[in-house]
Amino acid sequence: MTEKVVIITGGSRGIGRATALAAAARGFRVVVGYASNEAAAKQVVGAIEAKNGKAIAVKCDVAEESDILALFKAADAFGALGALVNNAGIVGPSMRVEDMSFERIQRMMAVNVIGSLLCAREAVKRMSTRNGGQGGVIVNLSSVAAKLGSPNTYVDYAASKGAIDSFTIGLGHEVADEGIRVAAIRPGLIDTDIHASGGEPDRAHRLAGNVPMKRVGTAEEIANAIVWLMSDDASYVTSAILDVSGGR
């Protein structure tokens, strides 16, 4: 158990929501970031408080640096930062690269890549022993798309997650002797709203037959791996990328 604060970007729904609940159950004070769905974020806070946990909801579009600074400021007032989960992420409608607009690709990189880097920057400033901090953990959400490349679907998304993999390895090495561990999870097909947001609500179930385990995963199965990485049970794990994908 810990009294440390964890910031979870995109903590209002899906994998972020499941992670918020799992982290609270392990004693973390949870900062639930959300982009626009305030009701969903407040529901997560309410569910945590109903079990005597501590949580706050903070609006933060990770594509906006000013929102990120405000998110960390709110977290500072809530307690000492012990972990960051860079979970916020988007997909776009399925299409070939030649049909992608500049705006689509720019938004993909702004949310999935730049947002994660800026959040990690703020976390390192606070957690690094080099800066007087007490150490901590950063968990990044990558995807098996980083390995598969997602042709004819969303190569831009896959490339954004490839960037997350490199970022995880590099930042992990950079802060390894400053008390901070950095790791990534590569989820496979997980049953969340993200597929509907890409225009294909049944995508995960449609492709489940391609998964060696022949089923989609749950948000809780990803959350369990994230909170393990956040725990001292993973004390020698850094710059590591863990596939949680049923073998995909």
Kindly list the catalytic residues.
157
Other residues' Cβ atoms within 10 Å of the Cβ of residue 113: 18
13 scored as a contact of ligand NAP (CB under 6 A)? yes
Q: Report which of 154, 146, 140, 155 is spatially closest to residue 240, judged by C-alpha positions.
A: 140
Q: Which stretch binds ligand NAP (CB under 6 A): 14-22, 23-31, 176-184, 228-236?
A: 14-22
Pair 169, 183: CB distance under 8 Å: no
Q: Which is nearer to ligand NAP, 127 or 184 (CB)?
A: 184
Q: How far from 227 is each of 140, 218, 233, CA to CA, in Å?
A: 12, 15, 10
Residue closer to ligand NAP (CB basis): 100 or 207: 207
CB of 179 to ligand NAP, least distance (A): 25
For residue 33, the minimal CB distance to ligand NAP (Å) is 6
Q: Is residue 38 a contact partner of residue 73, using CB atoms and an 8 Å limit?
A: no
Q: How far is the CB of 27 from ligand NAP (least distance, A)?
A: 22
Task: Tell which one of 63, 108, 127, 163 touches ligand NAP (CB under 6 A).
Answer: 63
Q: Which is nearer to ligand NAP, 38 or 49 (CB)?
A: 38
Interactions with ligand NAP, residue window 93-152 (CB under 6 A): 111, 141, 143
**Which of 18, 22, 58, 9 is CA-nearest to residue 38?**
58
Given the DSSP bridges, would you call strands 136-141 and 180-187 parallel, antiparallel or unpaired?
parallel
Packing angle, helices 155-174 and 115-127, rounded to 10: 20
Both ends of the chain: CA-CA distance in Å? 33
Q: Which of 71, 88, 227, 244 binds ligand NAP (CB under 6 A)?
A: 88
185-204 residues near ligand NAP, rule: CB under 6 A: 187, 189-190, 192-194, 197, 204
Q: Where are the alpha helices (DSSP H) in the chain?
A: 14-25, 38-50, 65-78, 102-109, 115-127, 145-148, 155-174, 194-197, 203-206, 219-230
- Output 153 or 192, the one with its CB closest to ligand NAP: 192
Residues that bind ligand NAP (CB under 6 A): 9-10, 12-16, 33-37, 40, 60-63, 87-90, 111, 141, 143, 187, 189-190, 192-194, 197, 204
